[in-house]
Structure 1
């Protein structure tokens, strides 16, 4: 019996050793995306690419559905070294004002436009990230945002009057919806379903991939296609911790982040068509909003950004000019 116990213990130790030695470095990637979301698809792709390229050296482990914290908590955990990667989106406008450029309504017209902006301005964004202790390994996507609610269809900004609308934690999204007449309420993504279900809030705004994967269609009556903001997502690391990684690991992770962006853009375009149908099939009433009316109502937000953010008007002019290229 003692021999069997010893053998079992030895076998367990060997198993543990095998697990530990499977990869020299384990990296945790936390995000808020639910199963079936674009976030989950993007993070899983990045992990698979990295684990293949760095087999034996690095294992990227993924934790979705806010398992390791909401966006704000993940930003803090990156700096503490408790998480190695996160996938923030709108919240980056609270990290540095320059990221607020993506909070300007209708400033990004499509993904090709986003790539041109990335090509011209990535040094600006990376500089802002590094000034705050982060490193942008690559870009992914959250997507074009649309409004759902339980009060009425939203055709023009005036229809938002008095509606309690969940927004991410970003100052410019709050200002935008206040300008439209809504009552914006910042809230962690993981809390939104219950808040909609219980009537704490009336509605929210997100891309189809986030709406459908979080099953908001089960607790919302109306979807208004506004496409008011395009939000990139950032494959983000702590600058201090990323800089300590071996050069070959940094290079492979960066290469996989670039490949992830290509994957994400293709996957996002596929989901836009299929998930809109999923939302409709759930009985949600869908309408196309008057985008011209929203663009007109957005002018004060652009002015505020130009007045309050250093170099804001130059950034606006550059991004809009890149939209006319190609």
Structure 2
């Protein structure tokens, strides 16, 4: 219950922090996460850090549950200066091909592995963001993704044959599930519950934190533990806006983003066991998929990524090599 206590505390503090203040600058942080989600905890922790450490300079107000739009819309709003921060994840692969590396199945094996990739390759991802008008203030996470559906338990890729599966708006996730035999459909996260409830789609894939907070367990029969993709999340700003901020504000925001990453990783690890039980207790049938079968079926996706994206093979080799470190 420690993790739930922490989430409630973070939300309560953030609620107080978004009251009227004397800060010079008010900044909006939007995300798609529902109450109780890891996204909410991440945004609230970042806002609390900034609001308490830069009281007279910056006040961050948070807006969850897609209040400011879906991920695609918020990316546009950042550039239009209609909001200041968002928390995209998989959709970043549609911003620049470099982020597609995190769409490769089973390429990230742990949070420690992700930290090593960050230390080694952050310049690559920051340049990719900058080239497209964005600035990565810091990294957080969405997490290890698993499949839920109403058709059958998924043990091997062939079990996905014909399953109508929602995916985020990322080209490589779409290709991956097509390769596995599913019928993937890109859809905004805010639309998924109703689509599952009405049978427009059979299933979806997300980390436990997103599944439980969005209450997908109320409209899904099966959860298959696949862990097929680990998706980082990005505390993202407009490059133009971030560059225009005073240097001390830039430094403060960056420092808080780094602190939030530590919080997010610890919270996410705790949430996994708690939320899996919550999903099971709701009556969802849980099975552990054949990881080796999925890894084998993923080889064509790696080849396609390497063939189509400049420098992709080098990125693949670097990330896989860092997975063997430590």
For the aligned pair, the TM-score class normalised by the smaller chain equals over 0.9
The yes-or-no answer on 1:102 pairing with 2:102 is yes
Tell me the SS of whatever aligns to 1:90: coil
- Structure with higher Rg: it is 1
> Per-residue displacement from partner, 1:4-31 (whole Å, max 9, x unpaired)?
xxxxxxxxxxxxxxx8761110000000
Give 2:306's aligned residue: 306
Q: How do residues 50-65 of structure 1 correspond to structure 2 at under 5 angstroms? A: 50-65=50-65
CA distance in 2, matches of 1:22, 1:190: 34
Residue-by-residue CA offset, 1:150-190 (whole Å, 9 max, x unaligned): 00000000000000000000000000000000000000000
TM-score normalised by structure 2 residue count:
0.94
> Any gaps of 5 or more consecutive residues in structure 2?
1-18
Name the residue aligned to 2:81.
Answer: 81
Give 4+ residue runs of structure 1 displaced > 3 Å after superposition.
Answer: none
Aligned partner of 2:249 in structure 1 is 249
Rounded Cα–Cα distance in structure 1 between residues aligned with 2:134 and 2:248: 19
Q: Contact 2:21–2:59 at 8 Å: present in 1 too? A: no
Separation of aligned partners in 2, 1:303 and 1:286 = 32
8 Å CA contact 2:141–2:264 kept in 1: the answer is yes
Could you tell me which residue of structure 1 aligns to residue 8 of structure 2?
none
**CA displacement at 1:221 relative to structure 2:** 0.0
Name the CA shift for 1:292/1:20 in 2 (closer, same or farther; >3 Å).
Answer: closer
TM-score, scaled relative to structure 1 = 0.94
- Provide the residue aligned with 2:131 in structure 1: 131
Correspondence for 1:288: 288
State the partner residue of 1:71.
71
The 3 A distance-change label for structure 1 pair 148 and 21 is closer
Q: Distance in 2 between matches of 1:56 and 1:40?
A: 24
Deviations 1:256-284 (Å, cap 9, x if unpaired)? 00000000000000000000000000000
Structure 1: 5+ residue stretches without partners: 1-18
1:161-310 equivalent positions in 2, closer than 5 A: 161-310=161-310
Q: Distance in 2 between the 1:20 and 1:44 partners?
A: 16
Figure out how many residues of one structure are paired with residues of the other and give that number: 308
CA distance in 2, matches of 1:38, 1:288: 23
- Cα separation, 1, equivalents of 2:265 and 2:312: 27
